[in-house]
Amino acid sequence: MVVDTDLHTNDQPVSTGKPLDADRFPYSYIVEPQRPPIAVEGTLCRGKDGAIYFSTNDVVLHDDPKDDYRVLWMKSSTDNGRTWGEKWRLKDLSGNDIEGLHNTLLRLESGRLGLVYSSLNVPDGRTGRDGGTLFRSSDDEGRTWSDPTVIEPRFGICCTGHAIVLEGGRIVVPVFKWISYDPTGEAESMISPSLSYSYVYVSDDQGRTWTQSLSELFVSHYRAAYDLEEPAVIELNDGRLLMHLRCQLGGGYRCFSDDQGISWTRPERLPYAAGYTPHCLKRNPTTGHLLTMWTQVSRQEILCGLHRHRLTCAVSRDEGRTWENFKNLESLDDLTVVNPPPTDRFEVIEQWEDYGYYQPVNTERYHRAPGVLRIGYPDVLFVDDEAIIVYDHGMGTLGESGGIKQRIIPGDWFSQ
């Protein structure tokens, strides 16, 4: 019998009534909330001559929602994110808008910009809800882009901001996909009888050709299989790669590669609680420490509709083995460390019957309620001594609206 320790615990945090410590620093909307949410999942990249770039996507709406599609766009800042210029749509060599989402901007070894994104228009691809994954490059800082190269033709995607370039120039694109008896996009719905697993593509020739990893990553417990999705990867000081993955078991998983992404260790539980949202992995150049950001929630919160209200960050001083200095960037309460589920519990934790976002009843504990409830998909760019952070911010008190929030935080704050 599974005993729900969350629902009957007596050691709930006491409200302090204080604002979040992160609110001491500048924050704003880099994309204002709109209904329906037009832009989701933003990413950041260094530009040239001190500029930084932000990129996301817009929905082009039609009378029939089935005709809607998303186009990619960028804008730049020359003052470390304090102000931003006008946005421009990404164009192909013929001047057409580039349709897609789930994009990453990369500074390639050649100096060109690279673009990894998902598309429903993959040549000879297999259709799906989010499509396959493509690569393009630009030699004019993102105004026009080369013809696409196919990375993943099946319906498999790389999470926004998660593709990276290693010190030696190799491009690493962590991908996840669905397998199912159903050949349509419905295979990707939350309630479909499918399994998601993760893997990696690498390129050593600036994105012209791609090699798939030998390892395919999911949770296996006595031949029972559980999803591992939206992988995030970072290069460690000793040359190994570290990957964090999301799942529905109440905590994330990690694995390592010692051959730059071709093979990976068996996934193991991360030592903290996590919801069904992706992790962000970066290195803080101010301290040299690893930084992760993710949605940290308990089993009770997932089941009660609070599954994306708390965005937490933590640092690792030992290259990802342990994590400390848990701090919240967003939260309706003051809890900074959520107890993870037991490592021997394999329970899919999800709101199967009434999936949604609900305000908490206990407003003494959740003293910032009512508040925004759909928070996640962070990306971080360190510039000078600051971290520029962007993440989805919507639902709850914003109704059906959603935008992308930006914070600018001193780089040493995370390790203090």
Query: What is the per-residue pLDDT for 44?
Result: 98
Which run of H or of E encompasses 375?
A: strand 374-383
Asked if 299 and 274 touch (Cβ cutoff 8 Å), the reply is no
Distance CA 190, CA 352 (A): 9
What's the pLDDT at 78? Answer: 97
In a domain, 345, yes or no: yes
Structural domains counted in the chain? 1
Cα 332 from Cα 309, distance rounded (Å) = 7
* Count of H-run helices and E-run strands, the chain: 1, 29
Is residue 25, in this structure, part of any structural domain at all? yes
- Interatomic CA distance for residues 302 and 251, integer angstroms: 12
Question: Which DSSP helix (H) or strand (E) runs through 301?
Answer: helix 299-303
pTM, rounded to two decimals: 0.94
CB contact at 8 A, 158 and 114:
no
Range of the domain at 310: 21-34+213-415
Is the residue at 282 inside a domain? yes
- Does the residue 40 lie in any domain? no
Structural domain contains residue 132: no
How far is residue 40's CA from residue 350's CA, in Å, rounded to a whole number?
22
> CA 95, 56, 215 angle in degrees (round to 5)?
105
Residue 237 domain-assigned? yes
CA angle, residues 379, 382, 385, in degrees to nearest 5: 145
Cβ(306)–Cβ(360) under 8 Å?
yes
Q: 230 in a domain, yes or no? A: yes
Amino acid at 307: H
Q: How far apart are CA 299 and CA 349, in angstroms?
A: 7
- Beta-sheet pairing, 268-273 with 280-283: unpaired
Q: Residue 185: helix, strand or coil by DSSP? A: helix
Q: Decide if 251 is inside a domain.
A: yes
pLDDT for position 2: 36
Name which of 306, 305, 278 is nearest 377 in CA terms.
Answer: 278
pLDDT tens, N- to C-terminus, the chain (416 residues): 334 444 444 455 555 568 999 999 999 999 999 987 667 899 999 999 999 999 999 988 777 777 678 999 999 999 999 999 999 999 999 999 999 999 999 999 999 999 999 998 887 776 666 789 999 999 999 999 999 999 999 888 999 999 999 999 999 999 999 888 887 767 777 677 889 999 999 999 999 999 999 999 999 999 999 999 999 999 999 999 999 999 999 999 999 999 999 999 999 999 999 999 999 999 999 999 999 999 999 999 999 999 999 999 999 999 999 999 999 999 999 999 999 999 889 999 988 888 899 999 999 999 999 999 999 999 999 999 999 999 999 999 999 999 999 999 999 999 99
Collapse the DSSP code of 213 into the 3-class scheme (helix H, G, I; strand E, B; otherwise coil) and give the result. Answer: coil
